[in-house]
Amino acid sequence: MTEDTINNKTPWQDLTIGGNIYTAGNAKEFKTGDWRSSTPIFKPELCKQCGLCFPVCPDDAIPVNSDLNREDFNYDACKGCGVCAKVCPFKAIEMQ
Amino acid sequence: MGIRERLSGNEAAAIAMKQINPDVVAAFPITPSTEIPQYFSTFVSNGQVDTEFVAVESEHSAMSACIGAESAGARAMTATSANGLSLMWEMIYIASSLRLPIVMSLVNRAVSGPLNIHNDHSDAMGVRDAGWIMLFSENNQEAYDNLLMAHRIAEHKDVMLPLMVCQDGFITSHSIENIELLEDEKVKAFVGTYHPEHYLLNDKEPIAVGPLDLQAYLFEHKFQQGLAMKNAKKVIADVSKEFEALTGRKYEFFEKYKMDDAEQVIVCMNSTAGTAKAAVDELRAQGIKAGLLKIRMFRPFPAEEVATALKNAKSIAVLDKADSLNGAGGALFEDTISGMYVSNIHVPTVNYIYGIGGRDTTVNDIKKVYWDLQEISNTGNIGNPYRYLGLRG
């Protein structure tokens, strides 16, 4: 079973017992960012790519590309804890 | 033709577990179930079983370890009693909702307080709505036999529910009675090997167990659990028939003792059924048409079958060894009369709370119930339907 075959319209006959999920790596399908308490805004013009923000993110909300540069926030995962904004020396992250 | 032995109920349960030889047993010592894990750990130490014995720090952990083991694909068992079961309570629901066919030996005794360690059914009644199959046992033989049938029932693909086998604390658990054991190899063949369809340690199919199950899903999953419980009836009947063919010992949803022409009928569970049989025999000798209906399968509750079995009675007493403290009768009483009502069967029925905290219930006590039932039959007057047997005052 995958997330494509089970959703909130699926009749009980087609649900797996105990809500078991028979596919791996499915946590990324679960968008926890929808209960984000506040929103970090990335200001790339102030960012020096120092790399301090993404290691402190408790989730996976700051994507890092193959050049090891951070990109804009992944709001599907961000809870708005503000740790990244606190750690940024250049005020490149503003909490709203 | 079996092995003739004499064992306590605890020994019988432990030997059943030895013959089943589960992959994991996780248990915490609590009286009077203590002896079961104690005997079993001896079997482990002596190399008589292959089981991984997990000596946990609490009953909550015992059930948690069973859940982990069963999810991983192992066959897991535990044993507990009274407040031990209370401490498992949270995980009892997790086990059934994750559809893990864990098997437990439950030695019934009072949930304190005030502090009491003796037999009644308040522990089992506390989990009657938890989604576990519950089989009750009159004596050591039935406790043993029910355990041998347990995995076949619980692990059936149409069921996949945990199962507890109940026996009365001290009265059964510590009394040594004759018993007929099955040979080890026959048990092994009957119980078989557990091959779960999905399990955590299957590296060919990585799965998630127990995920978040919010408003869109829990309702349907609970319905599935209820359906599995209904399915269990047929599986229990089938497995019991197969067991009868193997051993000659007949097990049904309930035992009907001298019920064919019975007018005054008692409904009860566990060891009290033995006492009631003696009372029935004595009363029958005096020409009183006494009968007994002993519930073996309490969950799922055979509501329709019980109602049908009781339809020709003139008066009925349901004996509850736990007070639901609701002012409206005990759990077995409620289940019995609601089953009768739904089947449109209306026989004067009263409830007796009895034997609380290990209070002895004698043949004479049971005979008094039958005499009360005669009075109800004769006068048509139920009087107080919520009665207490042997209460001082």
CATH number at residue B76: 3.40.50.970
> Is residue B53 situated within a structural domain?
yes
Distance CA B350, CA B213 (A): 42
Q: Let me know whether B312 and B358 are in one domain.
A: yes
Q: Let me know whether A26 and A41 are in one domain.
A: no
CB A36 within 8 A of CB A80: yes
Q: Let me know whether A7 and A46 are in one domain.
A: no
> Is residue B27 situated within a structural domain?
yes
Task: Give the number of other CB atoms < 10 A from CB of residue B285.
Answer: 8
Q: Let me know whether B316 and B336 are in one domain.
A: yes
For residue A8, what are the domain limits?
A: 1-30
CA angle B37, B188, A20 (to 5 degrees): 75
Q: Let me know whether B236 and B290 are in one domain.
A: no
Q: Let me know whether B231 and B291 are in one domain.
A: no
CA distance readout (Å), A89 to A39, A53, A68, A84, B368: 18, 10, 18, 10, 86
B216 Cα to chain A: minimum distance (Å): 5
The residues on A that touch B, with CB distances below 8 Å, are: 7-8, 10-12, 15, 17-26, 30
Task: Report pLDDT digits (tens) over B157-181.
Answer: 999 999 999 999 999 999 999 999 9
Q: Which residue type, as a one-letter code, is found at position B85?
A: L
Cis peptide, bond prior to residue B29, ω within 30 of zero: no
**Tokens linked to B111:** 């949930």
**Tokens linked to A29:** 């399908």
Q: Let me know whether B186 and B276 are in one domain.
A: no
Q: Let me know whether A12 and A44 are in one domain.
A: no
Q: Let me know whether B243 and B374 are in one domain.
A: no
Distance CA A77, CA B3 (A): 63
Q: Which residue type, as a one-letter code, is found at position A34?
A: D
Using the beta-carbon criterion (under 8 Å), do B216 and A8 form an inter-chain contact?
yes
CA distance readout (Å), B353 to A12, B120, B122: 40, 10, 11
Q: Let me know whether A51 and A13 are in one domain.
A: no
Q: How far is C-alpha B197 from the chain's CA centre?
A: 27
- Please state at what angle helix B59-72 crosses helix B82-97, rounded to 10 degrees: 30
Distance CA A25, CA B207 (A): 9
End residue of a domain, out of B185, B217, B247: B247
B8 forms beta bridges with B176
Q: pLDDT band at A4, cuts 50/70/90?
A: low
For residue B258, what are the domain limits?
A: 254-388
Average pLDDT over residues B321-342: 97
Q: Is B44 left (phi over 0), alpha (psi -120 to 50) or beta?
A: alpha
CATH number at residue A70: 3.30.70.20
CATH number at residue B323: 3.40.50.920
Q: What is the DSSP letter of B163?
A: E
Average pLDDT over residues B331-339: 98
B 332-351 residues inside an 8 A Cβ radius of A: none
If residue A41 lies in a helix (H) or strand (E), which one and from where to where? strand A40-42
Using the beta-carbon criterion (under 8 Å), do A21 and B207 form an inter-chain contact?
yes
Q: Let me know whether A55 and A17 are in one domain.
A: no
Q: pLDDT band at B1, cuts 50/70/90?
A: low
CA angle B161, B167, B173 (to 5 degrees): 135
pLDDT value at A3 more than 60: no
> Is residue B20 situated within a structural domain?
yes
Q: How many domains does chain A have?
A: 2
**Tokens linked to B215:** 């408003």
Using the beta-carbon criterion (under 8 Å), do B209 and A11 form an inter-chain contact?
no
> Is residue B88 situated within a structural domain?
yes
A53 forms beta bridges with none
B255 forms beta bridges with B294
> Is residue B103 situated within a structural domain?
yes
Q: pLDDT band at B32, cuts 50/70/90?
A: confident
End residue of a domain, out of B180, B213, B247: B247
pLDDT value at A1 more than 50: no
pLDDT value at A32 more than 90: no
Residues 6+ apart with CB under 8 A from B249: B141, B145, B180, B243
B211 Cα to chain A: minimum distance (Å): 7
Distance CA A31, CA A38 (A): 16
Q: Which residue type, as a one-letter code, is found at position B239?
A: V
Q: Let me know whether A18 and A46 are in one domain.
A: no
Q: Let me know whether A57 and A93 are in one domain.
A: yes
> Is residue B393 situated within a structural domain?
no
Using the beta-carbon criterion (under 8 Å), do B213 and A11 form an inter-chain contact?
no
B7 forms beta bridges with B177
Reduced to 3 states, what is the DSSP secondary structure of residue A37?
Answer: coil
CA distance readout (Å), B105 to B13, B16, B355: 7, 10, 21
Task: Report pLDDT digits (tens) over B191-244.
Answer: 999 999 999 999 999 999 999 899 999 999 999 999 999 999 999 999 999 999
pLDDT value at B270 more than 90: yes
Nearest residue to B297 via CA among B367, B342, B354, B239: B239
* Mean predicted lDDT score pLDDT of chain B: 97
> Is residue B291 situated within a structural domain?
yes
End residue of a domain, out of B247, B265, B281: B247
Distance CA B55, CA A24 (A): 32
pLDDT for res A28:
78
> Is residue B356 situated within a structural domain?
yes
Q: What is the pTM of this model?
A: 0.92
Average pLDDT over residues A15-43: 89
pLDDT for res B259:
98
Residues in chain B: 393
Q: Let me know whether A88 and A66 are in one domain.
A: yes
Q: Let me know whether B229 and B267 are in one domain.
A: no
Average pLDDT over residues B137-144: 98
Q: Let me know whether B226 and B279 are in one domain.
A: no
Q: How many domains does chain B have?
A: 2
